[in-house]
């Protein structure tokens, strides 16, 4: 359940949404993607309330088809849209080089590491089209080392994608590292209790996490998250 949530995303921008379980983070992604409709208010993509199929949606699990090779998994959305298989694979191959997957086009999912599987899943999401990419805990199932590697990879890759991005995460450090703006939701009903614009310019690397400013802002976000959890009805 969400209440009075307002946000705006522009091309190239990246917003992270953090909040306790059940606060409505995934519901918000579903609303933006057009999988659900709001009871009140409006959701628009490029001024249009018709949203289904107009954004890329990447869930926590990669959901790769085990019977398809890596390139074939990346082309699923294009094939559904009616793009010929050969053309779809050509487009995916170009992105594979950008995503550090060149040479693994024919590999089956079980032959790929967890991080590589997630990169294939993100390639599929990007190839699906649209100006907006929705990321629902995309690195949550990875081990700590692989997760850090994927965060570093996304930091490097994101500016070249030229899309708008909305990341749902439980990890305030991940949110602060990756995003240009961090929003904190309260417990049900989910309300925005904190908006923090990142002071760290792009390009940025993991080194920012070792700075006193990063530590201070991380504690600030954790305090905001804790305040939002204290009262089930909303923020203090």
User: What's the whole-number average pLDDT of the chain?
Assistant: 88
In this structure, the answer to whether residues 197 and 230 fall within a common structural domain is yes
> For the residues 151-171, what does the mean pLDDT come to?
91
Q: Is the pLDDT of residue 234 over 50?
A: no
In this structure, the answer to whether residues 27 and 12 fall within a common structural domain is yes
Q: What is the extent of the structural domain holding 92?
A: 62-129
In this structure, the answer to whether residues 154 and 218 fall within a common structural domain is yes
72 falls in which pLDDT band (50, 70, 90)?
very high
Bridge partners for 18 per DSSP: 169, 184
Determine what percent of the chain is predicted with pLDDT higher than 70: 96
* 3-class state of residue 73 by DSSP: helix
Bridge partners for 48 per DSSP: 45
How many structural domains are present in the chain?
2
Q: Where are the alpha helices (DSSP H) in 83-203?
A: 85-98, 114-127, 144-161, 172-178
The pLDDT assigned to 225 comes to: 87
> What's the chain's length in residues?
236
Question: Counting Cβ atoms within 10 Å, is residue 83 exposed (0-12), middle (13-18) or buried (19+)?
Answer: middle
In this structure, the answer to whether residues 209 and 143 fall within a common structural domain is yes
pLDDT per position as a tens digit, 163-181: 899 999 989 999 999 999 9
In this structure, the answer to whether residues 76 and 190 fall within a common structural domain is no
**pTM for this model (two decimals):** 0.86
190 falls in which pLDDT band (50, 70, 90)?
confident
Rounded Cα distance, 43 and 58, in Å? 19
pLDDT per position as a tens digit, 117-150: 999 999 999 888 778 999 999 888 888 998 999 9
Of 92, 112, 129, the position where a domain reaches its end is 129
């Amino acid at each position: 359940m969400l209440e009075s949530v307002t946000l705006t995303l522009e091309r190239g921008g990246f917003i992270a949404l953090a909040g306790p379980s059940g606060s409505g983070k995934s519901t918000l992604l579903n609303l933006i993607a057009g999988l659900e409709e709001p009871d009140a208010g409006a959701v628009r993509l490029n001024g249009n309330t018709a949203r289904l199929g107009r954004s890329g949606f990447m869930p926590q699990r990669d959901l790769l088809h085990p019977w398809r090779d890596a390139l074939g998994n990346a082309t699923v959305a294009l094939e559904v849209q009616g793009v010929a298989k050969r053309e779809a694979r050509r487009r995916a191959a170009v992105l594979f080089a950008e995503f550090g997957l060149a040479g693994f086009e024919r590999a089956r999912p079980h032959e790929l590491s967890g991080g590589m599987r997630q990169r294939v899943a993100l390639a599929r999401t990007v190839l699906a089209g649209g100006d907006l990419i929705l990321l629902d805990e995309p690195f949550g199932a990875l081990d700590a080392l692989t997760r850090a590697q994927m965060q570093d990879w996304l930091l490097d890759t994101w500016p070249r994608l030229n899309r708008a991005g909305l990341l749902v995460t439980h990890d305030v450090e991940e949110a602060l590292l990756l995003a240009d703006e961090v929003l904190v939701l309260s417990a049900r009903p989910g309300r925005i209790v904190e908006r923090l614009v990142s002071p760290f310019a792009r390009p940025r690397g993991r080194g920012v996490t070792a700075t006193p400013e990063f530590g201070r802002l991380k504690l600030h976000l954790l305090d905001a998250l804790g305040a939002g959890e204290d009262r089930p009805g909303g923020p203090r």
